[in-house]
Structure 1
Amino acid sequence: MEVKIGVQHASREIVLESGQSAEEVERVVSEALTGKAELLSLVDEHGRKVFVAADRVAYVELGEPTTRKVGFGAP
């Protein structure tokens, strides 16, 4: 699943492909935004962890997983 995180006072958003389910990502984001957690913590598909201070999160956008195209065929 593609996750985009907008961070306050940062010129670029954080984009990662997460192996977590949409429900799990939504739960983690909700906990961070409601104050239950001080950090928004997600894991990308390579096992790397991304941490963002919960009070700096501007927005989170969840999208469908991107598929890699192989070959030279028509799109």
Structure 2
Amino acid sequence: MEVKIGIQQAARELVVETDAEADTVEKQVAAALEDGSALALTDTKGRRILVPGAKIAYVEIGGGVAGHVGFLRS
């Protein structure tokens, strides 16, 4: 699942592809916004991304993998 995070005073948004469920990500975002703690997400390659909750402008949860190229095996 794709998660787009807009960060205050940053020209570009942060795009993270994660295996986490939408409900889980939403709860993590809500907690970070509520108390200003860091939003911690793990991407599909196992990297950990931390975003300060006080600097989050918006979060878009959902969507697929943009530009994913592959072949189907039958």
* TM norm structure 2: 0.85
Name the CA distance, whole Å, in 1 between partners of 2:30 and 2:50: 15
Name the CA distance, whole Å, in 2 between partners of 1:51 and 1:66: 21
The runs of 5 or more residues in structure 2 that have no matched partner are: none
CA deviations on 1:11-67 (whole Å, 9 max, x unpaired) are 1100010111101100100100111x5101111001101101110000000122227
| Deviation beyond 3 Å, 4+ runs, structure 1 | none
User: Which residue of structure 1 aligns with residue 50 of structure 2?
Assistant: 51
* TM norm structure 1: 0.84
The runs of 5 or more residues in structure 1 that have no matched partner are: none
Percent identity, please: 41
The alignment covers a number of residue pairs equal to 70
User: Which residue of structure 2 aligns with residue 21 of structure 1?
Assistant: 21
User: Matches of residues 1-75 of structure 1 in structure 2 within 5 Å?
Assistant: 1-35=1-35, 38-66=37-65, 68-70=68-70
Name the CA distance, whole Å, in 2 between partners of 1:10 and 1:56: 10
